[in-house]
A and B are shown apart, each in its own frame.
Chain A
Amino acid sequence: MRAVDAVMECLKAEGVDVVFGYPGGANLPTYDAFVDAGIRHVLVRHEAGGGHAAAGYAKATGRVGVALGTSGPGATNLVTPIMDAMMDSVPVVFITGQVRTELLGTDGFQEADILGITMPAVKHSWMIQHPLEIPRVLHEAFHVARTGRPGPVVVDIPTDLSKADIPYEPVSDVHLPGYQVTVEGNVKQIRQAAKALASSRRPVIYAGGGVILSEASAELTEFALSDRFPVTNTLNGLGGFPGTHEQFLGMLGMHGTRAANYAMDEADLICAIGARFDDRITGKLSEFAPRAKFIHIDIDPAEISKNVPAHIPIVGDAKHILVKLVNEYRALGADPARLEEWWQRIQGWKERHPLHYTDSSDTEIKPQRAIQAIYEATGGDAIVTSDVGQHQMWAAQYYNFDKPRRWINSGGLGTMGFGLPAAMGAAVGMPDEVTVCVTGDGSVQMNSQELATCVANRIPVKVFILNNGYLGMVRQWQELFWDNRYSHVDMGQSPDFVKLAEAYGATGLRLTNKETLVDDLRGAIATEGPVVVDIRVTREENVYPMIAPGAAAREMVG
C-alpha cells in the first residue's frame, strides 16, 4: 500500500479517533489518504490552533493527541504547541510534511529544518529516511509520547517517501534500547518515606501535574486520608486532589493561598509527587521550605534534586508508588494526634487568610466574582481551559476543581492563545461534557480564528472573556514593580467580541449586570453551539495574594 495509507493504519492501530491539522503541498499525500481512511480530521484555521487542540484533547482524555502540518511555515507554526506540550508533559504526536528528499538542504520552497528547530523542544523526533521505516517509527513515536514522562514527539516525512509503495504489517512491539522507564518505585525508599511521614509533625503533600498524568488522583486521595495529611496542588495539579476537601490547602506558589505557602514554609517534611519545584512555586530558592526534608516522587529521574535536593528520592510512576506507600504507611500505625497542633496552625491560616476580594460596587463585575459565577453556572463540573494571565490565576483560585482533567491550561510555557483551541480539542475528546474557555481580551485574540473551526465542526465551546481592556497581568507587574509606568498594556481598540462571534457564525453575548450574571451564564451554556461571552470586568484589579518574584513564601502580599 502507499506509505500514507500505512500512516492511517498506524494511527488507527494506536486508537487515534481524531486528528487536528492543516494541509499543504508537502503533506498532500497524507491528506489524500484521509479521503478513505475513516479517521476524523478537524481542519483548523492555523497550525498553532491544531497543536494546542491536540494538547487540549490529550489533557482532557488522557489519550495521545495528534496534530498535522505541512512543511516550512506549517511546521514552524507548530513550534509553540510543541514547546508548550514539552513544558507540561503532554503526549502529542506532531506529524509534519517535508520537501522531497532531493530538495533537502537546498533551501527548497517551504523547506524548514523542523527537526533542528524543534530539537530542544521535543521528547524525541524522527525524520523518515526510508519509506519502509514509516510504520515502525510511528509506533515508536506513540510509545515514546505516552509512556514514562509523557511529551511531544515530531515525525517529519518527506513528500516523495510518503508516496512510496510499501508492505504494511502491524507493529506489535516497540524496541528502543536507549529508552527505559522505571515504573515501580524502589521498595526500600518507599519504606523510608513512610517512616519519615510517620514521624513528621508538620508534613505537607505537594502534588503536581504528574499525579494527573499517571491517573493517580484516587490513590493520592487515599494516601492523604490515610492520615490527616494537608495537601496543596500546583497550578497543573489542580483537580488531582478534590479542591473542596477540608484537607486541601489550595494552590501554592506565586498566587497560591497563604495557608498553602505558610504550610510549606513551616513544614518539617514535604512529600512532592509529580511536581518539579518550578520557580513559580519556590520563589527564592534559598529560603524555600527552610525547615523541611524532602521526599520526591517522580517518573523522570532528572527532576529529582534538579532544583531542590531530595532527602528521599523515589523514581517511578506516582500511581504504583502511592499504592505501596499507603500500605507501608498503614502498617506503621502512626499516631494521628501528633498532627493536631499542625492542623490548628493551618486552620488558623485558613480562617485568617481566605481568598478574598472587595466587591463593593453595585454595578461593576469583579473578575473573581465572574469566576465564582462560572463555577456556579457550571455546577463546578465543567472542563475549564484557560489562557495565560490574570484570568488564569483567578480561575485557578476560585474554581474549585474536584476532579482531574477538568483544568486545562498552559502552566509551564505560559502560552497566550492556548485556551480557545485547547477547549476545542477537549470538547472534541469529551463531547458529553460542558467545556468552557476562560480567557482574557488579550489572550483570546492570539488564536480567535479558531472560532471558525468550532462553528464549522459544531464544537460547542463556551468562551468566557474576562474583558478589562488591558493585558492585565503585565499591567499588574508594571503597577507593582515598575512604578505604575504602564507601557503598552492598554489594549485600546479590541474588536466587538459579540460581533466577532457573530461574524464567525457563533453566538455572541455581552454581560454587564452582576445581579443576573449566574443566570445569564447558565443561559449561555444552554445555548447550542459555540458561544462567546464578553464579560466586562473591573479594569484595574490585581491578583492576590502574591509572592513577588524572587521573594520568599512568608513575604506574601495582598
Chain B
Amino acid sequence: MGDPGTKELLSLEELEASGQLRTGRKHVLTILVENKPGVLTRIAGLFARRGFNIDTLTVGPTDDEHISRVTLTVDGALHPIDQVTKQLHKLINVLKIRDLEPDETVTRELALFKVAVDGTQRAEVLQLTDIFRGRIVDVTRRSIIVEITGTTDKIESFEALLRPFGMVEMMRTGEIAISRGRGET
C-alpha cells in the first residue's frame, strides 16, 4: 500500500525549483562493459528507474573487441555517486567503473556547428575557428560547418562566439575521458 497524504503538498513553484537544482560537480564515470546486446539498455534503465539523470553518454569499442567503453557524465549534486556506482557494479555485464578525478583526466568532446554566414562574416568565422583550432569541413554560399574538439568548456565558449552569426544547427558527441599517466583508465 502506498502512503496516504500525510505529507505537506508541494506547491508548483517548489516542484519546479526541485527539478532545477543542478549545481554540483560534474562526475565523469568511465565504465568497461561486455560487448553484448542490451548492455546499454541495462545501464540506461538503471539510471532511469532510480531517477538519476544522465548528462552525456558515449559508447565505443576498446582495443579488445569483446569489451566496450561507456563514458557517462552525471551531476554529482543531484545524485549520490556512491549509490550510482554500486548499482552499476551489480550489472553482470559491467566489468569496471571509475569515477574520474577532473584534475587527473583528459576529456574531449567533438562538436559540429553549422553557421549562417554571408561573404563578410565568413572571414570572421574562419579567424575564430583558427584561434580555437577548429576545422572548416563544409562551405556553401550561405553557410559554413565547423568541426571542433576539446573540453566541454572550450566547446561552449566557441559556441557562444559563433551563436551571434546565426547558428543553424549544432551537434555534440558528449565527452570521452582518459586518465593521465601510465595507469589504465
- Identify the A interface with B (CB < 8 A): 115-116, 119-120, 123-124, 127, 129, 144, 176-179, 300-302, 305-306, 414, 473-474, 477, 481-482, 548-551
Contact = CB atoms under 8 A, between A and B. Distances in A.
Given A178-B34, A302-B83, A481 B4 contact: yes
Given A124-B91, A306-B83, 20 more contacts: A115-B38, A116-B41, A119-B42, A127-B37, A127-B38, A144-B92, A177-B34, A178-B91, A178-B92, A300-B90, A301-B86, A302-B86, A302-B87, A305-B83, A474-B1, A477-B4, A481-B4, A548-B6, A550-B3, A551-B6
5 contacts: A119-B42, A123-B92, A176-B92, A178-B94, A481-B5
B78 interface: no
A458 B6 CA distance: 48
A549 B6 contact: yes
B102 interface: no
A178 B6 contact: no
Interface in B86-102: 86-87, 89-95
B39 to A, nearest CB: 10
Interface of B: 1, 3-7, 33-34, 37-38, 41-42, 45-46, 49, 82-83, 86-87, 89-95
A123 B46 CA distance: 12
B89 A302 contact: yes
A253 B82 CA distance: 27
A549 B3 contact: yes
A120 B95 contact: no
Contacts of A115: 38
Q: Which of B6, B82, B92, B93 is most buried by chain A, counting CB atoms within 10 A of its CB?
A: B92
Contact of A129 (B37, B41, B91): B37
Nearest to A176: B92
Contacts of B1: 414, 473-474, 477
Given A302-B86, A305-B82, A178 B3 contact: no
Contacts of A305: 82-83
Nearest to B91: A178
B16 to A, nearest CB: 24
Nearest to A121: B49
Top 5 closest pairs, chain A to chain B, by CB? A302-B86, A549-B3, A481-B4, A124-B92, A179-B92
Contacts of A120: 45-46, 49
Contacts of B37: 127, 129
Given A302-B83, A302-B87, A178 B41 contact: no
A300 B45 CA distance: 20
Contact of B4 (A116, A178, A306, A482): A482
A177 B95 contact: yes
A161 B7 CA distance: 53
B168 to A, nearest CB: 35
Contacts of A551: 6
A176 B93 CA distance: 8
A258 B37 CA distance: 51
B45 A550 contact: no
A75 B95 CA distance: 30
Nearest to A144: B92
Q: Which of A179, A481, A482 is most buried by chain B, counting CB atoms within 10 A of its CB?
A: A179
Contacts of B86: 301-302
Contacts of B94: 178
A302 B6 contact: no
A176 B92 CA distance: 8
A474 B45 CA distance: 32
B90 A302 contact: yes
B7 A550 contact: yes
Nearest to A478: B4
Contacts of B46: 120
